[in-house]
Structure 1
Amino acid sequence: MKSRIYELVEKGSHGRRLNQMFDNFIMSLIVMSLVSIILESIPDVHSKYSEILYGFNILSIGIFTIEYFMRIYVSDVTHPSETRLKSASKFIFSTYGLIDLLAILPFFLPMLIKIDLRFLRALRLTRFLRILKLNRYNDSLNLIWAVIKEKKSELAVTGFLTFLILMIASFLMYHIEGDKQPEAFSNILESFWWAVATLTTVGYGDIYPITGLGKFISGLIAILGIGIVALPTGIVGAGFMAKVEQVKQKKEDRKCPHCGCDLLTRQHEIHSN
């Protein structure tokens, strides 16, 4: 029984046809659930089809809850540990386990959790990337993650510099514009929001300086923002290109000078013999 449930919820496209059907069904239900959340936010649609949308929500929550407990049931296989309780805890507190739990918990605890966390179901689609045959891109994702870890010191310095500029700009604008615009720059936090919008060159226009000195500082912050935003992109981009070159060089070093095939493959062994 447990092995069948395990194959049903974990094997995905690598299992039998029933496994594929289950994965496709869950993925389709997640997409439909997200569509229903979007439709609920439209007043005209919500007023006409609120009962249908609510019924579908209950149905999807029920199915997701059953699936969640099925995964807990086979957690001693997917997350092996000394006891079944520890295995279940490993799954529950894993990334996917927490996403699954937060997606259904607000329905059962509406008085304690007021926020609608159903949007987290979108993150569950990552579990089914194998259906879309995206595993081939794992090497690229790992490469990007390796670059980020390698450049974490540079990125941390950039982040600290950005925060420092934001704080200085917030203090300056609060003292310069606070008296002239008490509603817009009522405190440093409000000024911080302006600084973020300006430094990232978004400039929503909801808060802007009216004094000459304030406009001058705003211009400087906007110009600085162009460089500040480009810094992390440049750091990661340069690191990524360097990593790609390293990978290419390793592949070239592994090539046989005689037959041109990879020295670590079975094909090279055949050619050698």
Structure 2
Amino acid sequence: MKRIESFKRTVAEVLGHGMRQDRYAAKFDIFIEALVLLNVIAIVLESFDEIDQMYMLEFDIFEAFTVIVFTLEFLGRMWVADLRYPAKYKWQAYRKFLLTPMAWIDLLAIIPFFIPFIITADLRHIRILRIMRLLRVFNLSKYSQSLRLINRIVIEKKQELMATLLLFSSVLIVSATIIFWLEKDIQPDKFPSILHACWWAVITLTTIGYGDVYPMTGYGQLLGGIVGIIGVIITAIPVGIISSGFVQKMEETQYRKRISIARKKLRDAYYKMYIPEIACKVRRGQLSVDSVKVNLELLEEDMYKIAEGNNEFRFRYKKVMNHGRIVDKLFLEYREINTKYGTFTNRNHRLVMVSPDSLSKQSIGYFAYCMSEKLKCNYISNEFFGDEAEVIEESFGDKGVDPRGAFNFRHNKAYLQKVEDEVPSAFYQWQNDLEKLKSEKSIYLVFSTFESESQDIGYVHLTYLKRKNLKTDTLEYSYSEAEKLEEFTTGLAQKAKSKWGKDVKVTQNGNAFSIKENNIILYINETIKADVMVININKEFLLNEKLFSLVAIMSESIKEELIGL
């Protein structure tokens, strides 16, 4: 069943009228275009009796081949109609497809071939119906980007073109009426009615001038000259409209190409580079806008266009030291986005790195990402939602935080299903993905930051639940193997001292630690039924050269003391 569905999607992509940059779709489009044009040539050649008699068998074979291809294509489009026209029932999708003009053109092009097999008729008359294959020419717009472009221009400029048509019709009726009254007595056979006079008005307005009908009176000739001049002006209007639309579309196409190239350049700039300290490759998290403009030769307006909406790029101001002064500097961040809320990476590992605050605290999101790459474990990060008041590390670009993203993923009543306000669909996807990552003996490590100069707080603070069970009079932990926490705490401090040559304090929460019931920790521990711990890191470690050192130290401690690898 899965193979059939996969094959169906492939067929839908190939028959997708060249909308996808798929090599098979492109080759199929070229094949159909060539077949349609060969049909036109064949019909023209068949009009010569000698050629038709000499190559009748070849023409018949070619027609049969053409009809078979067109029939298979039509049936294929009908089969995948439910993918192209989503509906509650498949028959509704089929109906939508059959009611499209292109479907009727396809049918009229192939039905004449099958008529002799259904009814008895004069074959000479049936052969005349072969010209119906010429209707396929109108369907070339499905396969040709240029024809699709012209079609879009006509649709977008339909109001202007309709106004021109109305003007043309008005001038036509007025000029036909006047010429009728001027010429009816002298040429009653040429101008017997206003309707007949319309023929003269049409050929004069379009400056064709067949010469079969023309005015003989002086006033009629004067009118003919005026109508001819007006005709030149009116016929030039739709040409100008379509030409300007074509130029506009070409400029838009060139602009999209430029943005696409710029986007690729930017993606390539955030390549994965090997970091010796952690002995693995990680992507770059951010680049200054100034360096991007200089090194990649990109316009700042193009960068803003690329970063519009919820995508992998985001502007953010950061405080940096410049000539002894702290200044705000604009950076462009890069994230690998694959969900509504941000990033989801499932490597079927028992470790899950969770970053619910990556929007407000980019540094901790990048740290959690580096940890997941080093340990080759699962990673889930919220990149688009958060409380604006919590954006304490850095400030965003000129547009600020999108108000639609004002939703806290770390603590929210939505975890308890007790919320009256509208909940973003991205949050429900976040919950589902958190559950998807659960496996046997899963450990969820939720990363966060704090800012404190107190040496008593330390550089890393571990938070987990300690609750007293009143029935058994024992302590219960959100991390089931409590004895390993002590080993992890001690090992992390020892490795940090060995690395940096000084004592590094690693602290834990005490027995009196309390937490709101709407926190992500309780949700993971009680709803998902998994071990969970929050690793709070002093921001000082995330904003300097010690970040990768801490990744190496912590990942080694997690492997050795926490999960025992």
Same fold (TM over 0.5): yes
Between the two proteins, the alignment pairs up a number of residues equal to 259
Q: Is the 8 A contact 1:170 1:191 kept in 2?
A: yes
Q: Which of the residues 141, 144, 148 maps onto 1:126? A: 141
Q: Is the 8 A contact 2:98 2:104 kept in 1?
A: yes
Q: Is the 8 A contact 2:12 2:77 kept in 1?
A: yes
TM normalised by structure 1 equals: 0.71
Partner of 2:14: 11
Q: Is the 8 A contact 2:215 2:224 kept in 1?
A: yes
Cα distance change of structure 1 residues 85 and 51 upon mapping to structure 2, 3 Å threshold: same
Q: 81-90 or 48-57: which moved more?
A: 48-57
1:74-112 deviation line (CA, Å, top 9, x unaligned): 21222221111111111112243233223223445698x
Cα distance change of structure 1 residues 9 and 35 upon mapping to structure 2, 3 Å threshold: farther
Cα deviation, residue 195, structure 1: 0.8
SS at match of 1:28: helix
Q: Which of the residues 166, 174, 193 maps onto 1:168? A: 174
Q: Write the distance in 1 (CA, Å) between the matches of 2:75 and 2:251.
A: 46
Q: Is the 8 A contact 1:34 1:119 kept in 2?
A: yes
Q: Write the distance in 2 (CA, Å) between the matches of 1:169 and 1:156.
A: 20
Larger relative contact order (Cα-Cα within 8 Å, sequence gap ≥ 6):
1
User: What amino acid is the match of 2:222?
Assistant: F
Q: Whose Rg is larger? A: 2
1:100 is aligned to 2:115: no
Partner of 1:39: 45
Q: Write the distance in 2 (CA, Å) between the matches of 1:180 and 1:108.
A: 56
Q: Which of the residues 148, 156, 165 maps onto 2:157? A: 148
Q: Write the distance in 1 (CA, Å) between the matches of 2:54 and 2:189.
A: 40
Q: Is the 8 A contact 1:173 1:191 kept in 2?
A: yes
**Percent identical:** 32
Q: Is the 8 A contact 2:180 2:197 kept in 1?
A: yes
Cα deviation, residue 219, structure 1: 1.3
Partner of 1:57: 63
SS at match of 1:117: helix
Q: Write the distance in 1 (CA, Å) between the matches of 2:174 and 2:192.
A: 16
Partner of 2:481: none
Cα deviation, residue 178, structure 1: 4.2
TM normalised by structure 2 equals: 0.38
Q: 216-225 or 164-173: which moved more?
A: 164-173
Cα distance change of structure 1 residues 70 and 203 upon mapping to structure 2, 3 Å threshold: same
Cα deviation, residue 41, structure 1: 3.3
Q: Is the 8 A contact 2:289 2:332 kept in 1?
A: no
Matches within 5 A, 1:1-273: 1=4, 3-8=6-11, 10-11=13-14, 14-15=21-22, 17=24, 22-108=28-114, 116-129=131-144, 144=153, 148=157, 152=159, 155-234=161-240, 258=290, 259=293, 260-261=299-300, 262-263=303-304, 264-265=306-307, 272=332
User: What amino acid is the match of 1:221?
Assistant: V
Name structure 2 gaps, 5 residues minimum.
259-287, 294-298, 316-329, 334-565
Cα distance change of structure 1 residues 146 and 43 upon mapping to structure 2, 3 Å threshold: closer
Cα distance change of structure 1 residues 7 and 224 upon mapping to structure 2, 3 Å threshold: same
User: What amino acid is the match of 1:126?
Assistant: S
Q: Is the 8 A contact 1:30 1:122 kept in 2?
A: yes
Cα distance change of structure 1 residues 6 and 126 upon mapping to structure 2, 3 Å threshold: farther
1:215-250 deviation line (CA, Å, top 9, x unaligned): 2221121122122223344566678889999999xx
Name structure 1 gaps, 5 residues minimum.
none
User: What amino acid is the match of 1:4?
Assistant: F
Cα distance change of structure 1 residues 200 and 103 upon mapping to structure 2, 3 Å threshold: same
Superposition RMSD in Å: 4.3
Q: Is the 8 A contact 1:9 1:23 kept in 2?
A: no
